[in-house]
Amino acid sequence: MSAAGTEPLVEETQPVEVPQTTEETTTTETATSEVATTEPAAEEPAAAEATTAASETAATEPAATETEAKEDAPVTSSAVFSMFGGGAKKEKKEDEDRGDTSGSAKAQRDAAKAEGEEEAPESEDVHFEPVIKLTEKVETKTNEESEEQLFKMRAKLFRFIKESNEWKERGTGDVRLLKHKENGRTRLVMRRDKTLKVCANHYIVPDMKLAPNIGSDRSWVWNAAADVSEGEPEAVTLAIRLANSDNANEFKDAFLKAQQENEVLFKEAEAAAAAAEGTAE
């Protein structure tokens, strides 16, 4: 074996350097340990401060976001305008609509509707005989069928009450002058509105005197010796008030004309009655 093959390589035979334990090394390690021990204590306050700052930032950011959202929101979304169709009311209505259109509620309504349509029976034509049969219409006679109307005007009638010394209203309606078609005599008739009850009914005789009412140019007063509006003839003092003075003058003219015509008829009737009595004797 050659010498080159038996000699170890220089690199393989180099000794390993062992660190020497000296006082400097010990001192350095001790200092390093103290620094490593004290550094975490310094980092803990810094970490706490960072955590507190992050919490405050997170707390202030939502408040700022809410403020910006309120400022950006339209005016109509406030409570003042909610009654006029603001956003809150609309959302509520949309929620109600969504609730109404839910599957279960809609199914129940459809089922109830279908059930009602199925149960509704077809109406049949049923005829019922009346229990009370209406009789034929009976014509009401007013004893005015054989008379001719000469005058008609709306007015208000009063009657003088001697016991209390005052005027009492008899009624409001149409005052009419009716002339009989056979004997030609004219009478004054007045009926109340609605009830048509007679409040004046007497002949216009020659001894009547139509006088103006004191303090009025549309009212007249006269005495009737035999007014039969209440059934039995009785002496009454009547006053009539019309709408205006023109109507009052028209009433006066028609009244006096009828009075003159009746005077002639009454005189003829008296003469005929006297002649009949003389013949009988």
Q: Is residue 77 part of a domain?
A: no
Q: Please name the residue that has the structure tokens 């048509």.
A: 196
Q: Is residue 206 part of a domain?
A: yes
**At residue 15, what is the residue type?**
P
Contact yes or no for 98/90 (Cβ under 8 A): no
Total number of domains constituting the chain? 1
Name the pTM for this structure. 0.51
Give the sheet arrangement for strand 211-212, strand by strand: 198-203, 186-192, 166-180, 147-161, 234-241, 219-227, 211-212
Domain that holds residue 161: 147-275
Burial state string for 65-77 with b = 16 or more CB within 10 A and e = fewer than 16? eeeeeeeeeeeeb
Q: Is residue 132 part of a domain?
A: no
Integer Cα distance of 109 and 95 in angstroms: 19
Q: Domain containing 157 — which CATH number?
A: 2.30.29.30
Q: Is residue 67 part of a domain?
A: no
Q: Is residue 34 part of a domain?
A: no
Could you list the pLDDT tens digit for every one of the 281 residues in the chain?
444 444 444 444 444 454 444 444 444 444 444 434 444 444 454 444 545 544 554 444 444 445 444 455 555 445 544 455 555 555 555 555 555 545 567 777 777 766 655 555 566 677 777 777 766 666 667 778 899 999 999 999 999 999 999 999 999 999 999 999 999 999 999 999 999 999 999 999 999 999 999 889 999 999 999 999 999 999 999 999 999 999 999 999 999 999 999 999 999 999 998 888 878 76
Q: Is residue 30 part of a domain?
A: no
* Closest-CA residue to 219 (of 254, 251, 191): 251
Q: Is residue 12 part of a domain?
A: no
